[in-house]
Amino acid sequence: MSSQASSLHAWLTSETPTSRRQARWAAVYKGWLSLKSNHMAMAGLAIIIALITVAALAPWLAPHDPFVQDLGNRLQPLGAEGHVLGTDSLGRDILSRLIYGARITLYIVALVALIAPIVGLLVGTISGYAGGWVDLVMMRITDIFLAFPRLVLALAFVAALGAGIENAVLAISLTAWPPYARMARAETLTIRGSDYISAIRLQGAGPLRIITKHIWPLCISSLIVRVTLDMAGIILAAAGLGFLGLGAQPPSPEWGAMISEGRRFLLDHWWVATMPGLAIFTVSLAFNLLGDGLRDVLDPKDSSS
CA torsion sign for 114, 117, 119, 125 is negative
- The pLDDT-based confidence of 40 (bands split at 50, 70, 90) is very high
Higher pLDDT, 281 or 190: 281
Distance of alpha carbon 122 from the chain centroid:
19
Q: What is the pLDDT of residues 43-99, one digit of tens each?
A: 999 999 999 999 999 999 999 889 888 888 888 888 887 788 888 888 899 999 999
| 4-26: average pLDDT | 70
Residue 8 domain flag:
no
Q: According to the model, what pLDDT value does residue 299 have?
A: 65
pLDDT above 80 (res 227) = yes
pLDDT above 80 (res 22) = no
CATH (domain of 60): 1.10.3720.10
Residue 110 domain flag:
yes
pLDDT above 60 (res 305) = no
Q: According to the model, what pLDDT value does residue 215 have?
A: 83
Q: What is the pLDDT of residues 162-177, one digit of tens each?
A: 888 888 888 888 888 9
SS3 82: coil
Rounded to 10 degrees, what is the CA torsion of 245, 249, 251, 257?
-40
Residues 85-113: b if buried by 16+ CB within 10 A, e if exposed: bbbbebbbbbbbbbbbbbbbbbbbbebbb
Residue 200 domain flag:
yes
Among residues of the chain, what percentage have pLDDT more than 90? 25
What residue type is 79 in one-letter code? G
Residue 121 domain flag:
yes
Give the residue from 226, 232, 283, 240 showing the smallest Cα distance to 153. 240
pLDDT above 60 (res 303) = no
Q: According to the model, what pLDDT value does residue 304 have?
A: 42
- The pLDDT-based confidence of 246 (bands split at 50, 70, 90) is confident
DSSP-assigned letter for residue 252: S
Number of domains in the chain: 1
Phi, psi torsion values for 245, nearest 5 degrees? 80, 15
pLDDT above 80 (res 277) = yes
| 186-211: average pLDDT | 81
Query: CA 209, 215, 216 angle in degrees (round to 5)?
Result: 95
Distance CA 298, CA 285 (A): 20
Q: According to the model, what pLDDT value does residue 160 have?
A: 84
Residue 77 domain flag:
no
What residue type is 145 in one-letter code? F
Q: What is the pLDDT of residues 87-136, one digit of tens each?
A: 888 889 999 999 999 999 899 888 988 899 999 999 999 998 888 888 89
Q: According to the model, what pLDDT value does residue 4 have?
A: 66
DSSP string, 71-103: GGGTT--TTBTTBTT-B-TTS-BHHHHHHHHHH
Give the domain range for residue 53. Answer: 26-66+86-298
Residue 30 domain flag:
yes
- The pLDDT-based confidence of 212 (bands split at 50, 70, 90) is confident
Higher pLDDT, 278 or 213: 278
Mean pLDDT of the chain: 85
Residue 190 domain flag:
yes
Residue 11 domain flag:
no
Q: According to the model, what pLDDT value does residue 281 have?
A: 94
